[in-house]
């Protein structure tokens, strides 16, 4: 009977650990990937801007609409 009790205790502990883990996972804020995107260079002035904020034209990156639309 001792072994059966041991198995029961182990099972109970496992269930508690699983529940706590599940609870903690739900409490934790969703992990967001670090927003370190690719840095691109403005084809006009050479300013480095994140690719997400850069303006693209003809496969070239620009820091602003002024530089994008400017003629070389």
Let me know: does 70 contact 64? Beta carbons within 8 Å. no
For the bound state, the minimum distance from the C-beta of residue 61 to Zn ion, rounded and expressed in Å, comes to: 9
40, 54, 61, 63: which one contacts Zn ion (CB under 5 A)?
A: 63
Name the one residue in this structure whose structure tokens are 């994008």: 68
Count the residues of the shown chain that bind Zn ion, applying the rule CB under 5 A.
Answer: 6
For the bound state, the minimum distance from the C-beta of residue 60 to Zn ion, rounded and expressed in Å, comes to: 11
Strands, DSSP E only, in the chain?
Answer: 39-41, 48-50, 55-57, 60-62
41, 55, 60, 67: which one contacts Zn ion (CB under 5 A)?
A: 67
């Amino acid at each position: 009977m001792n072994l059966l009790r041991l198995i029961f205790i182990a099972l109970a502990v496992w269930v508690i650990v699983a529940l706590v883990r599940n609870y903690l996972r739900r409490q934790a804020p969703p992990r967001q990937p670090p927003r370190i995107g690719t840095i691109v260079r403005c084809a006009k002035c050479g300013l480095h801007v994140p690719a997400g904020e850069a303006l693209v034209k003809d496969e070239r990156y620009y820091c602003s609409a002024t530089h994008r639309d400017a003629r070389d």
